[in-house]
Structure 1
Amino acid sequence: MADTTFDWRSFLARWSEEWADAAGSEDLSEADEEARRERWLGFAPASQERIAALEERLVHRLPPSYRAFLEVSDGWRHAGGFVWLLGGTEQARWHEDAIGMAEVYREDLDENPAEEQVLLAGMWERALQVDAESDITYVLLDPGDVREDGEWAVYYYRGWAGESPDRYASFREFMEAMYQSFHSLTAHRLGPEFANATTRALDASVEEARLEALRGRYDRAETALAQAMAYGRPRATALRDQIRRLLGHTYMVYFHGIAADPGYAQEVLPALAAEDLRMGRGVGSSAPHLRVAPDAVRKAGEDTLRQVADGTFRYSAPGPFGRAVAEAREQARWGETDAAWRTLRAAFPDWRPVGPDHIVPLGLLGDPLLAPLFTPERGRELLATARADETGDLPQPTADLDPAGLAWLADDDPGNALSAYRFVLVEGVPPTELPARIGVDETTTLHHPMTLWEAPRRLRAGQQEVPDWGDRALTAVGRAGPQWSFAFEPRPNRFHEQRFVSPAGAASRGTRALVVWSDPPRSHNHYPGLFHVSMAEDGQEQYAFTVHGTTIRRSGTAPAALAPDRLFPRTEPLSGRLGERRVLEALTAEFGVRLPRFALTQGRLHTFTTCSWTRPPGPGETYAVIRMGPLSP
């Protein structure tokens, strides 16, 4: 059956003519010089008799696309960059595992191998080899891996690469890939001098893809850009990488061609540096992108990389979008990440690129406060939003990420690092005033925003001796609703009930303050668990209760909604955290408060060191002192 869906003659003629034009005056072999003069990389067509003789020798009917190829050219020169001669009817032969790979791949099979793995392991012994001259590269057609239309899979193996072979569903797909490889290698070698009808059509598709991306039709744009990338067209990789990065892909995303460009470096380098830091590579791995940049760009880029590394980088943009970025950062630094995203989302249509190869606000991905907002779903929402004066349909808004209220703190997830926590809520006071109320002393100030996992290291830095009653906390601060601020610490020290001093009194001067401490049960050491609530107003404690196992100790009179006997039935263990959840739900209803899960677990918040939550030991009480050496850098 001939491959009637593909015009091999036109395809091979175009390839030959483009190769001949690109060959120029290079030193060519006699055969290549003849091919350049004739503008034909192939040979005479194989006769039906020669094809029939090959099939008789192989005792197999050839796959349709390989057969149709032979009917146009009995072999091919320069099939990609590493096969110098592709065999025809005379050179095709059974491979018979000539390089001893079958056993290697069989050894890699586990007890339940995938079908593709089994096919590949057996391919080496049954494949038809059609490469005749190459750079240790093999072109193998597998009669054991056949489509319904009779096409054999093609495996392209570069012996020097140390990788598994590339698989193509048919010989036609293989040849199309090799044509793309020719284009890519030649474009890299000759640059803009390599121009023909194919390159011009592809470059036009890249420009249309850029416009489609700005219209919010990023899926169409990515498909067109991926095709152009396969041909090595400039601009395609940088544009497609921007789409991929917003979708959450980071592997081999380097924004080729624009990272060191003066017009784009301040947008691209922050995103690259942030990914280096996330992967633990250090920002030095981004520096190679600057080596070919002008001196001024390199210096500015190095400054940007340092700012990203120390968490001080601030993304900025002109116009309405830039003003929205500043507003969103102010919201995010106090934990209002959903509100920050809504602010950015409303302003996306007003965003403007810095140049013709820029389609998304990449610099946001290096901003320590705003980068955490970009989940893949939100990145998709941005990509689907028309911007830069283009028009398109508005995407469906992504849902908020933070749950309402406080009850999420009782989610009993073994991997939840917030399962043990304590916090202070203060009414009618902005977060900036909390250090003056419950800070370690009058000099206490807010640190620049950091993650909740960096905070303990900062608290320990510089401490040489820590008594066990020195229960200072490095707390994250933010807004806990329209009228409240919070100071939150995960995984606090053990609760000392006899020496506990609630910070609610100091925090409540002229207002109200609430303290909650949860230390859930731990089965491995038979710890029964603890939960504490205390409320103070204008410096005086109004009520408090502490649940320890099945024991409840209380002072003052809590409102009915917070009555501990109702919330913690004696027959109900703390291990289920049902009582804790009921308290958190009641506090939410009573005071209209909330805590931002996303900001606490994935974002960055200001922190400060509180006064100790435990009083010094009294006469006759003992305590321990922990001495710590300097921290490693």
Structure 2
Amino acid sequence: MADIDDWHSFLAQWSQEWEDAQDGGAPAAPAPENGPAGTDTLGFPPASEERILALEERLGHRLPPSYRAFVAVSDGWRHAGGFVWRLAGTGEVRWHEDAEGLSEYFPGEPDDEPTPEDALLAGMWSRSLQLDVESDGVYVLLDPGDTDGDGEWAVYTYASWRASPPERHPSFGAFMRDMYQEFHRLEVDRSSREGREFANATTRALDEAVEAARRDALAGRYERASAALAEAVAYGRPRAQGLRDQIRRFLGETYMVYFPGLAADPLYAPEILPVLAAEHARHHRDETHALSFARSVGVPADGPADDVLRRVRAGTCRYAPEGPFGLAVEEAREQARWGDTDAAWRTLRGALDAWRPLGPDHLAPVGLCADPVLGPLLTVERGRELLATPRAGRQGETPVPSGDLDPPGLAWLADGEQGVFRASYRFVLVESVEPAALPGLLGADGTTTVLNEPMTLWDARMRLRENSSSWEDRALTAVGRAGRGWSFAVEPGPGGRFSEKRFVSPGTAASRGTRAVTVWCEPGDPHRPGVFQLSVARDGVEQYGFTVRGEEVTGQGAIPDVLDPHRLFQEDGPASGRLGERRALEALTALFGVRLPRFALAHGRLHSFRTRPWNRAPGPGEGYMTVRVVHGTP
């Protein structure tokens, strides 16, 4: 609330609260100068209309409404916030005229396309009125060149020790409201350090609003709760920031989200610390930053922070709440780790009513954000949906469920620009086999029988690099469920190129006792034709397959009509793009009822393993060359 309708009441309240707070040992205010009743501690006598008109004539401007109304109540002010000790009245206002040469530094280097804000700031220093009379190096500048429809002038404040550009306030009234809030924030901090309570009618009303906001948030009214908490945060109320940060985190906001007061509380720390650690690890991959993490979240360096950060980096930190909601979390994790992220979200969403807070400062299951498997499910849209859903047994309007994120089938692979699936890919689909059994069927050298822990495809490639003969071309595949009764092993962007001469379908060995489908696709470009290879095997024998390279088609076995490559890849003109590939993927979907989970593959965390080679070893008279590039200093 920036507008001030009743300056007398506002200033009287501020003055009285400031005076009451001085009992804690702050320096005494300067002697009052017969200020109006209620404002005499910080205020001055009001300026007469004649005095105001004289100032306007001297300046050649009519004063903006909020500053004019202010001086008519108090002609100046003491202790405007914590760093401006006296504001000018009508007798002390003066043109700043870029007295310190700051226009050279702000807005900085000229830009080819300066923003409107930069253009305003460029001329502000020379045309503004200076309102600060005494301060801790803080300039308060009232800018007649930056006005709104009500005739208000913006106020800019700048202090070199803040190491930031000037801060803009839309009006003098907004500036004074901000300084009143700054007084409250600083007084809350000071009184806390001195072991006393800063309490008055304003703080009591704000604390009641914080508690009401907590109830609103639990009932799904998160927008109203967030607005009330933001107001309380501006006044430095102790609980407000920790509560509001929980809302902000589910809305995808991570900047300056620290959950103050909660990270060091033993009741909340087991859930809050992993969330902070996950964000820290995202920005600091160096393992030596454990101490800086502890310091940044305000917890002891020799406490649990180091262990939490280590487990987060290792991907072993699990969100495990108690009760019925905890059971739903485990069920959702089981669904998500095999790729069914939409089902996992539905499981979590359906159990939110059973979630219970750890204590009075807990609004939502924020620990989900740090879970390596479930955290990626929480898109901003789903975060809003979670916040809008009544929790902890509260009554409220339940939001309309959001739709699934995964498209059906396989055809989405032909869309391009799908995260990690921007170019080539290859996969094996195996029927009547659980994903955990795939390493035993497809594993490298027939010995790999264990899946790696769930991780992103990028992390899997970075962590699981291998040194092997180049001819082997062993795929690092992510695994999961490919629909009812099917499992998948898929690799986007294979390192090797498809070669009809040396290709050996890993699906053939995987099909013993079942059926397997193998696809290798390399979309074309202006320099080479695309390749689409498909083979279907049963009981260890390839039944049929085909390879399409540009306009060349080769096939083997009794290919079903629905997969006839001559029909699927018929020439449709230059603009057809990847139409043949799309048709083939749609045909596979219809024939086998299979799918691949786009969201889990592009954004989630899945198990992975190395397959056996996708091509044969060099034969007699065939050779290969390995090139190794070593980076380092001479």
Alpha-carbon shift at residue 420 of structure 1 (Å): 0.6
Q: After superposition, where does 1:62-461 map in structure 2 within 5 Å? A: 62-105=63-106, 108-191=109-192, 193-281=197-285, 284=290, 285-288=292-295, 292-293=299-300, 298-299=303-304, 301-413=305-417, 417-440=421-444, 441-461=446-466
Change (3 A) 1:308 1:630: farther
Give yes or no for the alignment of 1:24 onto 2:31. no
The answer (yes or no) to whether the contact 1:270–1:366 under 8 Å persists in 2 is yes
Residue aligned with 1:193, SS: coil
Structure 2: gaps (5+ residues):
none
Structure 2: distance between partners of 1:415 and 1:447: 22
CA distance in 2, matches of 1:200, 1:175: 21
Change (3 A) 1:620 1:184: same
Aligned residues: 622
For residue 513 of structure 1, the aligned residue among 506, 511, 516 is 516
Q: 8 Å contact 2:32–2:41 — kept in the other structure?
A: no
1:480 maps to a residue whose letter is A
SS in 1 for 2:613: coil
Q: Give CA-to-partner distance per residue, 1:435-493, whole Å, 9 cap, x none.
A: 111112234311111111122334424x2xx3232121111110000110000011111
1:230 is displaced (CA, Å) by 0.5
| 1:496 aligned onto 2:503 | no
Q: Could you tell me which runs of 5 or more consecutive residues in structure 1 were left unpaired when the two chains were aligned.
A: none
- Cα displacement (A) at 1:106: 6.4
Q: Could you say what secondary structure the match of 1:453 adopts?
A: helix
CA distance in 2, matches of 1:305, 1:294: 12
Output the CA distance in 1 between the equivalents of 2:3 and 2:120.
Answer: 28
Counterpart-to-counterpart distance in 2, 1:607 and 1:582: 28
Letter in 2 for 1:504: G
| CA shift in 2, pair 1:624/1:415, >3 Å | same
Q: 1:202 offset after TM fit, Å?
A: 0.4
CA deviation after TM superposition for structure 1 residue 630, in Å? 11
Report the Cα offset of residue 15 of structure 1: 0.7
The TM-score normalised by the length of structure 1 is 0.93
The answer as to whether partners of 2:22 and 2:28 remain within 8 angstroms in 1 is no
Q: 1:313, CA displacement in angstroms?
A: 1.0
Amino acid paired to 2:294: A
TM-score, normalised to structure 2's length?
A: 0.93
Distance 1:90 1:458, change over 3 A: closer
Contact 2:325 2:355 in 1 (8 A): yes
Preserved CA contact (<8 Å) 1:529 1:574: no
Q: Deviations over 1:517-557 (max 9, x none)?
A: 0011133xx22121100001111110011112221111101
* C-alpha distance after superposition, 1:252-311 (max 9, x if no partner): 11111111110111111111111122234556343225654596xx23x33222111100
Q: 2:482: which partner in 1?
A: 480
- SS at structure 2 position matched to 1:343: helix
Deviation of 1:164 (Å): 2.1
Bigger drift between 588-597 and 623-632 goes to 623-632
1:547 to 2:548 alignment: yes
Letter in 1 for 2:175: F
Give the secondary-structure state (helix, strand or coil) at the position aligned to 1:390.
coil
Output the CA distance in 2 between the equivalents of 1:164 and 1:456.
Answer: 42
Alignment partner of 2:474: what SS?
coil
Q: Distance in 1 between matches of 2:51 and 2:381?
A: 57
* Residues 529, 575 of structure 1: 8 Å contact kept: no
The alignment partner of 1:611 has SS state of strand
Tell me the SS of whatever aligns to 2:458. Answer: coil
Change (3 A) 1:291 1:71: closer
Q: In the aligned structure 1, how far is the partner of 2:329 from the partner of 2:631?
A: 39
SS in 2 for 1:182: helix
DSSP 3-state at the match of 2:74: coil
**1:505-584 correspondence to structure 2 within 5 Å:** 505-523=508-526, 526-569=527-570, 576-584=577-585
The AA in structure 1 aligned to 2:6 is: D
Distance 2:359 2:615 in 1: 58
Identify the residue that residue 622 of structure 2 maps to in structure 1: 621
How far apart, in 2, do the equivalents of 1:305 and 1:338 lie? 29
Aligned to 2:13: 14
2:57 & 2:223 partners in 1: Cα distance? Answer: 48
Report the equivalent of 1:593: 594
Q: 1:60 Cα deviation (Å)?
A: 2.0
Q: Deviations over 1:580-614 (max 9, x none)?
A: 11100000000000000111111111111111111
Offset of 1:38 from its aligned partner? 8.7
Asked if 1:467 is matched to 2:469, the reply is yes
Cα pair 2:478 2:491 within 8 Å, conserved: yes
Paired residue secondary structure (1:487): strand
- Letter of the structure 2 residue corresponding to residue 490 of structure 1: P
User: How far has the Cα of 1:426 moved from its partner?
Assistant: 0.6
- Structure 1 CA distance, aligned partners of 2:460 and 2:21? 60
Shift of 1:391: 0.9
Equivalent residues of 2:15, 2:39 under 8 A apart: no
Deviations 1:64-85 (A, max 9, x none): 2212211211111100111101
Amino acid at match of 1:518: C
**CA positional deviation for 1:224:** 0.4
Task: Give the alignment's Cα RMSD to 1 decimal.
Answer: 2.5
- Pick closer, same or farther for the CA change 1:625–1:138 going to 2, 3 Å: closer
- For residues 34 and 247 of structure 2, the distance between their equivalents in structure 1, rounded to whole angstroms, comes to 41
